[in-house]
Structures are given as structure tokens and as C-alpha cells.
Structure 1
């Protein structure tokens, strides 16, 4: 089953276990770069709940880690793949905002930006009610949404909650006899997820990666104007949306065009997760 697009992709992520699963999902794609940004708190000695390495060092990886500024490296990749590069943002948007400031041509060179972030309702997990990634750097979120208007696909926190993976997949990965499945099960505590009564596993970052790799995973989306709150200190980072089909005049809502995902094909996503954990 061919599930990965041939577009070059760049992942900008923080240090979360679901970020690691997202990277693993993209390993079979045309992944040209990974950059890190501050976000989730480091967990354990290895950042992944102290899980032992299950794969020996390999020389088969074509690229080795390099030093440099993330925003510069990202821009270099966009120039090499002008009009083709798909950026996937799994953490705060700081790196991408800096790249847009220092390299104005990045906006033209990027084909698409897929963001896991933003909120449709008040989020009680942060002091301003914003989704975590936008809460960490509201100014960066506002700048990126503004400068990449028309090229941005947004998967909000609520979108993730509405589209959980079935518990049966969590149980299948727990029982699967492969190193990758055991790794995912351990860092995401899938044994606990699979035993719960309520339905669903919500792997936010892997879902955003999957949507970037195969757009057919997105079965529902609407074009909306999006505004990120940066002026009100009590609401910084919150996102507001205006549906273009509504009667409110567009000129009365200061926002920027994004495609807001509403529904995904969880069966296809599950299939992608199964394929990516075969080894």
C-alpha cells in the first residue's frame, strides 16, 4: 500500500513521545530535515520515559546530525526544494517564525505548512485558555499564520479529540511482535490506553504527520479566517475562526486564511501506524 507522498518534508518538533512517533511515521517518506524547538518538558534521562534503545547504531542513515541554526537550515531546504517543501510543525512555532523573519523568501518556497496546534474552545490546561503549542509562543503563531496564509493546514486540539484512534489499535500495537511496536507502546503507555473503558487513543503529532504524508486522510476541512490573540494578556495564544460561509463581513474579522481540518479517516491512519511499526 503506497501511503507516503513524494513531497520533501521537514519536521519541526519539541521533545514529546508523540513527536517521536510522528518522526518514525515519516521515516519512510522523503524526510529532508528535522529541527527541535522548546515545548514539552523532558521526560526521564532519555526524554522518552527512560526507554532503552532497541535499534543498534546504523550507517545506513544518509544524513548525520549537523550543527547550525534551525531557521537557517529550514530555509536552505526550502530553497533546494522550492515550491515543493512541506513543513510539519509539531511544537511551538518559534523556529518557523524566525525563519520567516530572516528569510522572507521562505513563504514563497514552501508548498504547505501543516500545524498541530490552535484551539476552538477554551483550554483549561493553560493559564490563557490557549492550546499548548500556541500558548508557548503566541507571537510566533500569529506571525506564521499571517505570513503563510493560504498555505496552512491546521489540526486543532479539538480536531484531535474528535478523531481518536480506536482502542483496538492500541491493543494491537501492544501485542505486535516488532521492535517499533514495542517502542511506541512503551513511550505512549499503550497498555494503559488499551485497557481503558473510554474509547480512543489521541496521538496528536502522528496524526498531523500522517495528514501531511497522505492528504486523503483528511476527509473534512473548511477554509476559515484565523486570528491568533496576542494583545489581550489573559487570552494570548487563543485562536479565533471565522467561517467564510457565515454572514459576518470578512472585512470585520481580521484573520488569515487557513484550512481547518474537521474530520480524518481513522482507518487509513490506523493502517499507516501498522505499516510504520512493522520492523
Structure 2
């Protein structure tokens, strides 16, 4: 089976909203989504994470203008966590001060829509019940707010694909926590226990998907518009990985989660209850209860809905699809 289905035009396109904090790997995921014939991107919602929310909105508008897709609305999300905490750290050392590799692009002409991100999510899920996939590439604040705003949201949304968690491995903020979950652990716990169809794609999986220096050289030599844009912004991201992980490549976190939403056969998963540690030294830790033991006593794990947690990924197919779609742009 090829990574791309050329005959997909006959099928109903999968409607997706990308909740995003762009971010270099977010940029790659957004570009791949725009080049994916299987999906229709019906909106971007913005959240703090790699950058603060205001800059995430600016970057989202900029990326859509650069892609010639100003028809896609951008809804600005929360500036604070679900418990009204402020974002203490942003990943400017990973993505650059502007979130886009310190390229200092001119400000976008477009503006976000009036609606807040949670209100937009609720509206679109009720317009397309069971058909909307939300791909959450940052902290889960907007998604948790949508769940609180409308009790029907968890059932109306088709699937929520979460880039987040460090299941069975160390985190990337500290040994316990992965960055997106750490950004708002309370929101993550709300989403994981909401009863929505949730697929978590954690760094246990995304660390298997590496875009190498050689891949980057291939992108640089192609005429693809998106490939050329990315080669400008990638240097900061590659140098961070060289310094932090001593590797000649970068992890493709966001594109992996995006493609798992587009083509679920790229990952395998296990199912169980996931809870998130919301305080203390292991704040942001994601714990999967695999249901192999039945516990007698009633606890915070009892009667909670299950979610899917990705355990394997077809890394070569993800890389191949990312490369093809960026180079054909």
C-alpha cells in the first residue's frame, strides 16, 4: 500500500481542526495537512506552548497566507491554563524566539475570527456530529474548555488525536512529563476522562520518527514551495536536537500525530484509562491503566472511560509521506 492514496478524491474528506502552537514541527504538520487529499482543514485554533497564544495566532495566520489558504479560519484560544495559570516557559530555545526559526517574517494581513477557539470547536462539532477530527498539537486547554462549554462536545466530536504524553518512557520537559501535557495537566486529565474518542500519540512513538540531515538535504534540493519554506526555518530545530540529543536529525512529533489522524493504519494502539498527575514532582505524568488487574476498591480510576494510546508507528511510511507532500507542494 503506498503512503498516498491517489484515488481518495471519491471519498468523503475527513474534516479536521488543528489546535496548534506553531512551532516548527507544527508548521510541518499544517503544511502536510494542507497537501493531504484525504482531509479538509476547516480551521486552526491556537494555544500557548512553543510560543505564547498571541504569537501562535500570528504564526497560524502567517502560515495560511504563505500557503495561499486564507479561506481557512483561525480562532484564537486561551492565554492561560484551565486553572488560570500563566505559561511560565515557552520553547523559544527549540523553535526560535518567533516560533519559526528566527526568520522575522512580516506580520500577516489576516485576523483571527471573533469566536474563541473553544466556541469554534463546539460549533463545528455540532455542525458535523461524528465527522470532525480535532488534532491537538499543543497543551489541551482549548479542548478541555470546549468540553466544559458544551456537555455534548465529547460525543459530537468524531475523534481527538492528541500529541502528548510520555507513555512508558521519560518525558522531554523532565523525566516525568512531556511538554504538551506539562503545559496544562488539569486540562489533559479532563480530556482523557471526557468519554470522547481520544487517541494519544506520545513521545514513546514520535521519538521513532526522525527526519535526518540527509532528508533535509533532499527537501532543500526540491522545488516544493513548502519544502523550501521549511528549509529556511529548520536550522534552529536541527541545532537544538544536535545539542540536546546529540543527533543528526529532528523528531517529527506533530507530523506523526497529524498523519495518525489522516491515516490511522500508520499506528497501532492499546486501550485503557489514562489519568494525569496534576501536582508535585511528577506533574504532567500520564499513567495508563491497562486493565489487566481488576481492583476491588473504588478509586480515581474506577468507571472512567478508556482512551487509545499509540504503541507503534510505521516510521518509514510517515517520513515518506511527509517528504512527498512537502516536495510536491
Task: Report 1:186-205 matches (<5 A).
Answer: 186-189=232-235, 192=238, 198=247, 200-205=249-254
Say yes or no: does 1:222 pair with 2:270. yes
TM-superposed deviation, 1:267: 2.5
Query: Paired residue for 2:99, among 47, 59, 72?
Result: 47
- Give the 3-state SS of the residue equivalent to 1:30 in structure 2: strand
**Structure 2 partner of 1:37:** 47
Per the TM alignment, residue 79 of structure 1 is displaced from its structure 2 partner at its CA by: 1.1
Any gaps of 5 or more consecutive residues in structure 1? 58-62
The one of 5, 13, 20 equivalent to 1:2 is: 5
Q: Which residue of 2 aligns with 1:60?
A: none
Consecutive unaligned residues of structure 2, counting only runs of 5 or more, are 56-91
Match of 2:180 in 1: 133
CA displacement at 1:40 relative to structure 2: 1.2
Q: Does 1:174 align with 2:231?
A: no
Normalising to structure 2: TM-score of the pair? 0.72
Offset, 1:2: 2.2
- Equivalent-residue separation in structure 1 for 2:250 and 2:98 (angstroms): 24
Partner of 2:22: 15
Distance 1:47 1:165, change over 3 A: closer
1:162 matched to which residue of 2?
208
From 264, 275, 279, the counterpart of 2:324: 275
- Are residues 158 and 45 of structure 1, via their aligned partners in 2, closer, same or farther at CA, if it must alter by over 3 Å? closer
User: Which of residues 155, 163, 168 in structure 2 aligns to 1:116?
Assistant: 163
Measured at CA, do residues 9 and 122 of structure 1 come closer, stay the same or move farther in structure 2, by a change above 3 Å? same
4+ residue runs of structure 1 moved beyond 6 angstroms? Answer: none
Q: Which structure has more RCO (C-alpha within 8 Å, separation ≥ 6)?
A: 1
Native 8 Å contact 1:170 1:191 kept in 2 = no
Kindly provide the CA deviation profile for residues 191-237 of structure 1, in whole angstroms up to 9, marking residues without a partner as x. Answer: 957x978465311011100110111211x21112211112x422222
Distance apart, 1:45 and its partner CA: 6.8
Contact 1:227 1:256 in 2 (8 A): no
For the residue of structure 2 that corresponds to 1:147, the secondary structure is coil
Taking only aligned residues, the RMSD between alpha carbons, in angstroms, comes to 3.0
- Evaluate the alpha carbon distance shift between residue 227 and residue 191 of structure 1 in structure 2; reply closer, same or farther with a 3 A threshold: closer
Aligned equivalent of 2:287, options 217, 240, 244? 240
Are 1:88 and 1:113, in contact at CA under 8 Å, matched by a contact in 2? yes
Equivalence for 1:260: 309
Which stretch shifts more, 129-138 or 85-94? Answer: 129-138
